[in-house]
A and B are shown apart, each in its own frame.
Chain A
Amino acid sequence: MSRTVCRKCRTSGTAVRSKASGKRWIMTALLVLIAAGGNAGAIEIPTGYDDVSLRWDNTLRYSYAYRVAKQDQRLLANPNTDDGDRNFAHGTVGNRLDLLSELDLTYKKSYGIRLSGAGWYDFAYEGGFSNSSTDTSNHLENGVPVAGRLNSEAKRWYLGPNGELQDAFTFGKFTLGEIPVNFKVGRHTVFWGESLLTTTHGISYGQAPIDAAKGLTMPGAEVKELFRPLNQISVQVQPRKDLVVFGQYYLEWDSDRLPEAGTYLGFSDVIQRSGESLIAGPGQRLIRAGDSEPSPFNNWGAGIRYNPDWLDGTFGLYYRRFADTQPQIAVRPTVASLPSAVGSGLGYTQLAAPDANGNAPFAFSPASIPDIAAGRVGNYYMTYGRNIDLLGVSLSKNILGVSVGAELSYRWNMPLVSNPVLILPSPLAAATAGAVSTIPTDGQTFGARGNTVHGVLNFLGTTAKTPLFDASTWMVEFVWNHLDRVTQNKAALKWADSGYTAIDAVTRDFFGTSVNFTPTWFQVFPGVDMTLPLSFSGGLSGNSVVNGGGNRDAGTWSAGLGFDILTQYKVDLKYIDFYGRIGADNTPNGSVTAALRDRDMLTLTVSTKF
């Protein structure tokens, strides 16, 4: 099931256009966008049959991004996180056109098909990247590092022109006796629980891969905008008027989409689809090998939602078995520094004379001397943990006009924040804490795993006119994460009990919060509504024990100005800031936002639906 990892990277193929031609493209695209908006309204297509309705909606979006912050030398100092930072040293960092197309065909309002897809092109990725640091570039061409160029996966998702199918499913509803049944089969998303903004602590964690690449460019985006559809079967049955029972069974698995290596928000040069090599030391690299991906057929879930009159709210109970969508890392070096007697005794190839302490570098299987001479000193693996169990409860209730949602869930066998696990020949593995001696496959993961508790509490409200604004919507979400116990490879866990004390060491408890507040002014000019979307998301205390779970003193905030023109065009101007602490040895505090702390940017988006 492993994805082929890069990767013969094409050096030709996508023609690089001159800047002048690029500008013409933008102008043409904008004209198309405006013309398209002007002809709006033809979204429902007459089919000639009363029972058949067909809708086709298109969203055309142009977005521009400008880097505001200067490069942070501490981030550049880490060769495995610097490529994107160096490629986009200043100025334009995004100049992109997206088209989203949605088609719904419905028969008798009961059965139908939905298809959606997206296409894109980004002029900022045509070339001319400013990275010239070959030694710290993780991108390889013909096995040799090259700076200022992109991997083919990064090109696919960022440069384009390219596209992807998103939703593609059939749906239906019928009654079984008196019982209504709804089903969907195909690529779609299903989302359970009450969480709104957290992508990691909800009951819905891992229910669909998250488009984190998009999420980072849209702080405050609701999780729904970031869910990516997977092939699955989902069913909802309503045996009583106040009870629904539902389930899903997956036919596909995929990992989260992260900003690709070498792109502006590529916070890692190693772990995405486009990660090709991990720099282990000066002139020494580990080469990406096949991922350990879980079986797509072992993931499913079921639940009930009960809303009796006496409760005046909705209670939910959920069980899910799923595989992680975020990776842990395993590394398999083919060289190590060993006491020369040990190395020789095991029959390894000694590469140099022993140092003063009697240690010498040795090479072992599957090393090849030409590889080692070229600095390729082993492999690394992305491992996505399988067989996580989750049991959760949720409650939603309206209290004093505010919609309140709460969730509490327990996960068994959850992959935890870990150091890369060493894969070594068995004699060495036996002597090294946390090391293993087998290659991970099929969703095996060797990092720390354990049982965790996750809580979510959110409030959603609106306000009417005040002297300051005409209306507003707001949401506040608190998350809590607790490590109950570690059940696998405690030695790999980044926490004090395992002897790990760097700035990103996890803590038993973590608290975080997210706040969105959007005041609106109607008709600031004839036909124009204005919004001022403000958002903040950050850790309050502790470092979460799950990947991406949040860290103290790290987060993101944004402030924007949005215009909704004739309910047809949207123009959004936004300032986005990432923050986080950097500790000793230039280690970020575990958060993506710390690794992006110098990537603050100004974005402009113009979109229309037609």
Chain B
Amino acid sequence: MKLRTNLIVAGLTLAYATAALGAVSAEEAKKLGATLTAIGAEKGGNADGSIPPYTGGLTTAPASYKAGSGVRPSPYADEKPLFSITAKNMDQYASKLTEGSKALLKKYPTYRMDVYKTHRTVALPKHVLDATIKNAVTAQTANGGLSVRNAKGGIPFPIPKDGYEAMWNHLLAYKGEAYEIRYKYYNVDAAARRTLATEGIVIQEYPYYFRDNPSKETYLMVNVNYLAPARRAGESMMLKDPLNMAEAGRRAWQYLPGQRRVKLAPDVAFDTPDPGAAGMTTYDDNFLYNGSMERYTMKLIGKKEVYVQYNSYKTNYLAKADELTMPKHVNPDCVRWELHRVWVVEATLKPGKRHIYAKRTFYLDEDSWLGLATESYDARGQLFRTQFAGLTHGYDVMAPYNELMISYDLIAGVYKFGTEAEGGYIRYNKPRPASFWNPENMAGSGVR
């Protein structure tokens, strides 16, 4: 009898695993563009007006922006904080703080959050919005949420019904077709010593969003070239993520300097320590989450108003490492917090799966679907790491950006931050030819 039940359960799981889920009714989809924005955010402001209505985002660059520089000055440089949250007054704001923020406020007396006026700056190109509205009634997840189907050129699930759909919105969020980033990641140890983890150039493309020949298979392609520390100079890697993640899976390659050849890289995913962060974070911590969701059950908790790093032009582009560095945490003077609505998704490790994070919480921006904050808990349920991605909108290209993170390891007392100041940039460009994305190309063009 027991066996029989098990078989039935297995049968059900199997049915669930193969059934395609998703797609809202045409009726429900009508909300998009009416009470909701095209990508599913609430158009209206909140009750006390601290979140304003959405008015189409920021579509003009400030006068100080130099086209082509890849460095975006803040349109709100003159604004002063409305108030500050510290350990002393945090209870007053507790309902609007992430667990990570609370932990940092409690742990470090010098930690502070300066809250500024909320600006809903994200604006996406019309073709992305149009495609998103179409996706609402067609897109589906498959393989137990791990793959996505029938979605094209837009956010797949503007009205998400479960955690996987919400996370697919994050994975497929529009950040532009193609861009090149030059970044630096610094680790600051418990003794407040700062070391350069890596400096590199990242070339990133989203074939899912290509205007010419959009891909039905691959949604993300990344090529990283390390420039520093000197001993890493010349190393590079490439990866490709498919829409059908459950069946096709991630592919990654590394270029071996000295040999001038390319090897398939093992395990550039999940909780493998990210060499780009000198082990301070995992591969799947990048972008707050990336890659396959196969190890987690994703649960959509709902929407919430929280203080997040938003319009972080100063931390992303402008502040020098010296200015950002403080013992224990990033200098609060440099960090801009705003109140925004976020989708909250909770990830719980599936039975039998292994990951150093047993539970994670993701906070996804309602206006862009980009992850803005996350908390990761270890197997004992202890808050292990919390990370914040400061959103900056590329007002010149209609593309938001969230890839520079501030990561705190609350157990080790160390932190990491990324910056595009000091020679860095984010430059948007046309997709490169397909030949560039043949991993073997790394061997031909590698100099070291």
Chain A residues closer than 8 Å to B356, beta-carbon distance = 464-465
The reply to whether B261 and A180 form a contact with Cβ atoms under 8 Å apart is: no
Chain B residues closer than 8 Å to A191, beta-carbon distance = 259-261
The reply to whether A182 and B445 form a contact with Cβ atoms under 8 Å apart is: yes
The reply to whether B434 and A241 form a contact with Cβ atoms under 8 Å apart is: yes
The segment from A80-88, A401-409, A433-441 found at the interface with B is A401-409
- Nearest-neighbour CB distance to chain B for A590, whole angstroms, equals 28
- Nearest-neighbour CB distance to chain A for B192, whole angstroms, equals 9
From B189, B263, B271, A527 is in contact (CB under 8 Å) with: B189
From B193, B230, B270, B282, A43 is in contact (CB under 8 Å) with: B230
The segment from B123-131, B144-152, B250-258 found at the interface with A is B250-258
Asked if B15 lies at the interface with its beta carbon under 8 angstroms from chain A, I say no
Asked if B441 lies at the interface with its beta carbon under 8 angstroms from chain A, I say yes
Interface bits A369-403 vs B (CB < 8 Å: 1, else 0): 00000000000000000000000000011100111
Q: How many residues of A contact B (CB 8 A)?
A: 69
From B197, B258, B269, A225 is in contact (CB under 8 Å) with: B258
The segment from B36-44, B90-98, B272-280 found at the interface with A is B272-280
Chain A residues closer than 8 Å to B233, beta-carbon distance = 43, 55, 57
Please report which residues of chain A, range 437-463, place their CB below 8 angstroms from some CB of chain B when the two chains form the complex: 460-463
Given contacts A403-B266, A568-B229, contact A192 B261 (CB under 8 A): yes
Of all chain B residues, the one with the shortest Cβ separation from A56 is B230
The reply to whether A104 and B448 form a contact with Cβ atoms under 8 Å apart is: yes
Chain A residues closer than 8 Å to B447, beta-carbon distance = 104, 106, 112, 114, 171
The reply to whether B189 and A314 form a contact with Cβ atoms under 8 Å apart is: no
Asked if A523 lies at the interface with its beta carbon under 8 angstroms from chain B, I say yes
- Nearest-neighbour CB distance to chain B for A273, whole angstroms, equals 24
From B354, B433, B440, A305 is in contact (CB under 8 Å) with: B440
Interface bits A41-62 vs B (CB < 8 Å: 1, else 0): 1011000000000010111000
Of all chain B residues, the one with the shortest Cβ separation from A235 is B444
From A179, A398, A463, B264 is in contact (CB under 8 Å) with: A398
The reply to whether A526 and B193 form a contact with Cβ atoms under 8 Å apart is: yes
- Nearest-neighbour CB distance to chain B for A71, whole angstroms, equals 36
The reply to whether B412 and A523 form a contact with Cβ atoms under 8 Å apart is: yes
Please report which residues of chain A, range 533-548, place their CB below 8 angstroms from some CB of chain B when the two chains form the complex: none
Chain A residues closer than 8 Å to B439, beta-carbon distance = 307, 314
Asked if A223 lies at the interface with its beta carbon under 8 angstroms from chain B, I say yes
Asked if B196 lies at the interface with its beta carbon under 8 angstroms from chain A, I say yes
Asked if B213 lies at the interface with its beta carbon under 8 angstroms from chain A, I say no
Q: How many A-B residue pairs have CB under 8 A?
A: 167
A223 to B263, CA, bound (A): 14
A43 to B423, CA, bound (A): 13
From B190, B230, B436, A610 is in contact (CB under 8 Å) with: B230
Asked if A227 lies at the interface with its beta carbon under 8 angstroms from chain B, I say yes
The reply to whether A609 and B230 form a contact with Cβ atoms under 8 Å apart is: yes
Given contacts A173-B444, A609-B231, contact A224 B433 (CB under 8 A): no
Asked if A165 lies at the interface with its beta carbon under 8 angstroms from chain B, I say no
The reply to whether B230 and A241 form a contact with Cβ atoms under 8 Å apart is: no
Chain A residues closer than 8 Å to B267, beta-carbon distance = 401, 461-464
Asked if A246 lies at the interface with its beta carbon under 8 angstroms from chain B, I say yes
The listed residue with most A CB atoms (<10 A of its CB), out of B197, B228, B447, is B447
The reply to whether A244 and B189 form a contact with Cβ atoms under 8 Å apart is: no
Interface bits B236-252 vs A (CB < 8 Å: 1, else 0): 00000000000000010
Interface bits A208-231 vs B (CB < 8 Å: 1, else 0): 000000000000001111010000
Given contacts A236-B444, A470-B279, contact A462 B272 (CB under 8 A): yes
Please report which residues of chain A, range 1-48, place their CB below 8 angstroms from some CB of chain B when the two chains form the complex: 40-41, 43-44
Chain A residues closer than 8 Å to B280, beta-carbon distance = 522
What is the interface residue range for chain B against chain A?
35 or more
Asked if B429 lies at the interface with its beta carbon under 8 angstroms from chain A, I say no
Given contacts A57-B230, A171-B447, A191-B259, contact A241 B273 (CB under 8 A): no
A397 to B252, CA, bound (A): 11
The reply to whether A190 and B189 form a contact with Cβ atoms under 8 Å apart is: no
Asked if A135 lies at the interface with its beta carbon under 8 angstroms from chain B, I say no
A575 to B434, CA, bound (A): 48
The reply to whether B191 and A526 form a contact with Cβ atoms under 8 Å apart is: yes
Given contacts A43-B230, A523-B414, contact A402 B266 (CB under 8 A): yes
Of all chain A residues, the one with the shortest Cβ separation from B273 is A471
Chain A residues closer than 8 Å to B6, beta-carbon distance = none
- Nearest-neighbour CB distance to chain A for B445, whole angstroms, equals 6
- Nearest-neighbour CB distance to chain B for A195, whole angstroms, equals 10
Given contacts A224-B256, A307-B440, contact A464 B282 (CB under 8 A): yes
Chain A residues closer than 8 Å to B433, beta-carbon distance = 178, 180, 241
- Nearest-neighbour CB distance to chain A for B231, whole angstroms, equals 5
Given contacts A104-B447, A224-B256, contact A244 B230 (CB under 8 A): no
Of all chain B residues, the one with the shortest Cβ separation from A179 is B435
A122 to B310, CA, bound (A): 57
- Nearest-neighbour CB distance to chain A for B289, whole angstroms, equals 16
Given contacts A462-B272, A527-B195, contact A189 B444 (CB under 8 A): no
Asked if B25 lies at the interface with its beta carbon under 8 angstroms from chain A, I say no
The reply to whether A460 and B263 form a contact with Cβ atoms under 8 Å apart is: yes
From B278, B434, B438, A307 is in contact (CB under 8 Å) with: B438
Chain A residues closer than 8 Å to B266, beta-carbon distance = 398, 401-403, 460-462
The reply to whether B190 and A224 form a contact with Cβ atoms under 8 Å apart is: no
Asked if A353 lies at the interface with its beta carbon under 8 angstroms from chain B, I say no
Chain B residues closer than 8 Å to A188, beta-carbon distance = 260
Asked if B227 lies at the interface with its beta carbon under 8 angstroms from chain A, I say yes
Asked if A238 lies at the interface with its beta carbon under 8 angstroms from chain B, I say yes
Asked if A164 lies at the interface with its beta carbon under 8 angstroms from chain B, I say no
- Nearest-neighbour CB distance to chain A for B271, whole angstroms, equals 4
- Nearest-neighbour CB distance to chain B for A402, whole angstroms, equals 5
- Nearest-neighbour CB distance to chain A for B11, whole angstroms, equals 26
Asked if A344 lies at the interface with its beta carbon under 8 angstroms from chain B, I say no
Of all chain A residues, the one with the shortest Cβ separation from B437 is A241
Given contacts A192-B261, A402-B266, contact A520 B279 (CB under 8 A): yes
From B230, B263, B269, B444, A194 is in contact (CB under 8 Å) with: B263
The reply to whether B191 and A241 form a contact with Cβ atoms under 8 Å apart is: no
From A173, A238, A610, B440 is in contact (CB under 8 Å) with: A238
From B197, B263, B444, A403 is in contact (CB under 8 Å) with: B263
Interface bits A296-319 vs B (CB < 8 Å: 1, else 0): 000000000101000011100000
Interface bits A561-598 vs B (CB < 8 Å: 1, else 0): 00000111010000000000000000000000000000
A522 to B412, CA, bound (A): 10
Chain B residues closer than 8 Å to A223, beta-carbon distance = 259
Interface bits A246-288 vs B (CB < 8 Å: 1, else 0): 1000000000000000000000000000000000000000000
6 residue pairs from A and B, CB less than 8 Å apart = A57-B230, A104-B448, A222-B258, A224-B256, A464-B273, A527-B195
Q: Given A314-B440, A464-B273, list of 12 further CB < 8 A pairs?
A: A171-B447, A222-B256, A236-B443, A238-B435, A238-B438, A244-B444, A305-B440, A401-B269, A465-B271, A471-B273, A567-B195, A610-B230
Tell me the A residues contacting B by CB distance below 8 Å.
40-41, 43-44, 55, 57-59, 102, 104, 106, 112, 114, 171, 173, 178-180, 182, 188-192, 194, 222-225, 227, 236, 238, 241-242, 244, 246, 305, 307, 312-314, 396-398, 401-405, 460-465, 470-471, 520, 522-523, 526-527, 529, 566-568, 570, 609-610
| A-B complex: 3 closest residue pairs judged by Cβ atoms | A182-B444, A236-B444, A224-B258
